[in-house]
Amino acid sequence: MIWESWDAFWKMGGYGLYVWGSFGMTLICIAGEIWLVRRHRLQTWQRLKRMKEWEPK
Amino acid sequence: MNLYYYASPSTFYPLAGKLIPLFSALAFILAVVGLYISFFVAPTDFQQGEGYRIIFIHVPAAWMSMFIYVVMAFWSAIGLAWNTRLSFIMARALAPTGAMFTFVALWTGAFWGKPMWGAWWVWDARLTSELILFFLYVGVMALQAAIDDPRRSDRAGALLNLVGVINVPIIYFSVKWWNTLHQGSSVSLTRAPSMAHIMLWAMLVMALAAWMYAIAVALVRARSLVLERERQTDWVRALLEGKP
C-alpha cells in the first residue's frame, strides 16, 4: 500500500479536488451513457412492438 | 470468410448481441485492473505529486476521442463509396461515445491544467483543436438528427465526418507545429516513452478498457439502429415477438 491512510488517499496530496473531480466526472459520463444506450434500446423495442401491434391486419 | 455476410444487418444483429457481454466484461475487468495500478501501484510523481494521476484517464480519453473520429470517418467513407447500410449505422453509433470521450478529455484537462498551469483553460493549439473536435461530434449528431430521411441524413453526416477528419492530425501534431502550453507527447511510436514503465502500463490498460467500453456501447447503439431501420423485414418482425 503506497498510502499511509484512507484519509491520505482521499486528499491525494492536496490534489483531491482535481483528481476526484476528473475521475468523478468520467464515472458520471460513463454511467450516463450506459443508462442512455439501454433506455434507447428499450424505447426503440417498445415503440416498434407497438407499431407492429397497431398495424391493420 | 465472406465479408458481405457480416455486413448484412440480419447477421450483424445476433452476432453483436453475443459480443456485447464479452466486450462489457473485458472493459470492466480492464478498468478495475487499470484503476488499481493507477491508484495503488503507480508511485507519486516527483514533479506533480499525486495530481499527475489524472493522466490515467486524460490520455486514454484523448486518444479515444481522436481514434473514434477516425473510425467514424472510415465507416462514413465506406458507406459513401459502397452505400452499405451497416457502415452508416456504425458511424452513427460511434458519434455519441466519441463526443463523450472528447468531453472527458477536455474536462480532465481543465482539472489538470488548473493546479499545474494555474488556468482551467487556455486558447492553446492543442486545447482549441480538441474543442473543435467536440464541436464536430456535436455538429455531426445535430446534422443527422435534423434530417428526417435516414438515407439523406446518413450521407450528410458522413460528408461532415470526412471533412472534419482533417482536424485529427491537427490535434495530434499541434504540440509540434505550434508553441503550446500543453506538453508534447510522452508516448510515441518512434521513441522510448518518457515516463516510468508502471505509469505507462496503467495508461495502456486504461486505454484498452476504454476501447472495450467504446465497442460495447457502440454495438448496443448499432443494434437499436438496426432494429429501427429494418423494422419492415420479416426477421425483425419475428424478433419483436420475443423479449428485448
Tally the residues of chain A.
57
Tally the residues of chain B.
244
Measured between beta carbons, the chain B residues lying within 8 angstroms of A34 are 217
Q: What is the pLDDT of residue B202?
A: 93
Task: Assess if residue B11 is contained within a domain.
Answer: no
Q: What is the distance between the alpha carbons of residues B181 and B143, in angstroms, rounded to a whole number?
A: 33
Q: Is the pLDDT of residue A5 over 80?
A: yes
Q: What angle do CA B207, B212, B215 make, to 5 degrees?
A: 125
Task: Assess if residue B205 is contained within a domain.
Answer: yes
Q: What is the pLDDT of residue B1?
A: 53
Calculate the alpha carbon distances from B237 to A56, B168, B178, B227, B229 in Å.
Answer: 15, 41, 56, 9, 12
b (16+ CB within 10 A) / e for B102-141: bbbbbbbbbbbbbbbeeeeeeebbbbbbbbbbbebbebbb
Q: Which three cell numbers stand for residue B147?
A: 434530417
Q: What is the distance between the alpha carbons of residues B101 and B158, in angstroms, rounded to a whole number?
A: 20
The tens digit of pLDDT for each residue in B127-150 reads 999 999 999 999 999 999 999 999
Q: What is the pLDDT of residue B4?
A: 67
Q: What is the pLDDT of residue B179?
A: 81
Distance of CA B125 to the CA centre of its chain: 21
Count CB-CB contacts under 10 A for residue B218: 27
Residue that wins the pLDDT comparison between B7 and B114: B114
Measured between beta carbons, the chain B residues lying within 8 angstroms of A44 are 224, 227-228
Q: What is the pLDDT of residue B189?
A: 59
Assessment of whether the complete model's pTM goes beyond 0.80 = yes
Per-residue DSSP letter, B54: G
Q: What is the pLDDT of residue B228?
A: 93
Task: Assess if residue B5 is contained within a domain.
Answer: no
Residue that wins the pLDDT comparison between B196 and A44: A44
Q: Which amino acid is at B129?
A: S
Q: Is the pLDDT of residue B109 over 90?
A: yes
Count CB-CB contacts under 10 A for residue B184: 11
Nearest to A18 by CA among B146, B49, B212: B49
Residue that wins the pLDDT comparison between B226 and A52: B226
Task: Assess if residue B9 is contained within a domain.
Answer: no
Task: Assess if residue B83 is contained within a domain.
Answer: yes
Q: Is the pLDDT of residue B177 over 70?
A: yes
Q: Is the pLDDT of residue A30 over 70?
A: yes
Measured between beta carbons, the chain B residues lying within 8 angstroms of A22 are 54, 57-58, 107-108, 111-112
Task: Assess if residue B106 is contained within a domain.
Answer: yes
The parent domain of residue B113 ranges over: 16-239
Out of B39, B111, B213, whose CB is closest to A22?
Answer: B111
Q: What is the pLDDT of residue A52?
A: 87
Task: Assess if residue B7 is contained within a domain.
Answer: no
Q: Which amino acid is at B176?
A: K
Task: Assess if residue B113 is contained within a domain.
Answer: yes
Q: What is the distance between the alpha carbons of residues B15 and A51, in angstroms, rounded to a whole number?
A: 25
The tens digit of pLDDT for each residue in B42-100 reads 888 888 889 999 999 999 999 999 999 999 999 999 999 998 889 999 999 999 999 99
Residue that wins the pLDDT comparison between B24 and B124: B24
pLDDT mean across residues, chain B: 91
> What's the pLDDT band for B40 if we cut at 50, 70, 90?
very high
Chain B residues touching chain A at CB-CB below 8 Å? 39-41, 43-44, 49-51, 53-54, 57-58, 61, 96-97, 100, 103-104, 107-108, 111-112, 114-115, 213, 217, 220-221, 223-224, 227-228, 231, 236-237, 240, 244
> What's the pLDDT band for B185 if we cut at 50, 70, 90?
confident
Domain count along chain B: 1
Non-local CB neighbours of B56 within 8 Å, separated by 6+ positions:
B34, B35, B38, B42, B202, B203, B206
Measured between beta carbons, the chain B residues lying within 8 angstroms of A26 are 57, 61, 104, 107-108
Sign of CA dihedral B206, B139, B142, B81: negative
